[in-house]
């Protein structure tokens, strides 16, 4: 999985990515990273239609980014 460098997120940039049918988004929010995982391409309607695999928040630091990567890997296994 291709995740951004920590500096990219600290500059308040949003990162989206995919692997096959697995989609994910990381968005910095203050001192946290909000992370979403989806099972296919969708926008705002993912949660309403059961396409969202999950969402989680992690600290905006090296450990948080590492935990986000591990969490995303677990979400990807749900497919």
pLDDT confidence tier of residue 51, bands split at 50, 70 and 90? confident
**Residues 24 and 18: beta-carbon distance below 8 Å:** yes
Q: What are the structure tokens assigned to 61, written together? A: 């630091």
pTM over 0.85: yes
The pLDDT value given to residue 50: 57
Residue 43 in this model has a pLDDT that exceeds 80: no
Per DSSP, helices labelled H in 1-79 are 6-10, 62-76
Q: Which residues of 50-79 are buried (b: 16+ CB within 10 A; e: fewer)?
A: eebbeeeebebeeebbebbbebbeebbeee
């Amino acid at each position: 999985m291709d995740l951004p460098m920590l500096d990219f997120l600290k500059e308040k940039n949003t990162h989206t990515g995919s692997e096959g049918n697995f989609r994910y988004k990381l968005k910095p929010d203050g001192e946290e990273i909000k992370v979403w995982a989806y099972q296919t391409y969708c926008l705002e309607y993912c949660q309403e239609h059961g396409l969202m695999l999950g969402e989680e928040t992690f600290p905006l630091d090296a450990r948080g980014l590492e935990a986000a990567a591990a969490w995303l890997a677990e979400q990807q296994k749900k497919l």
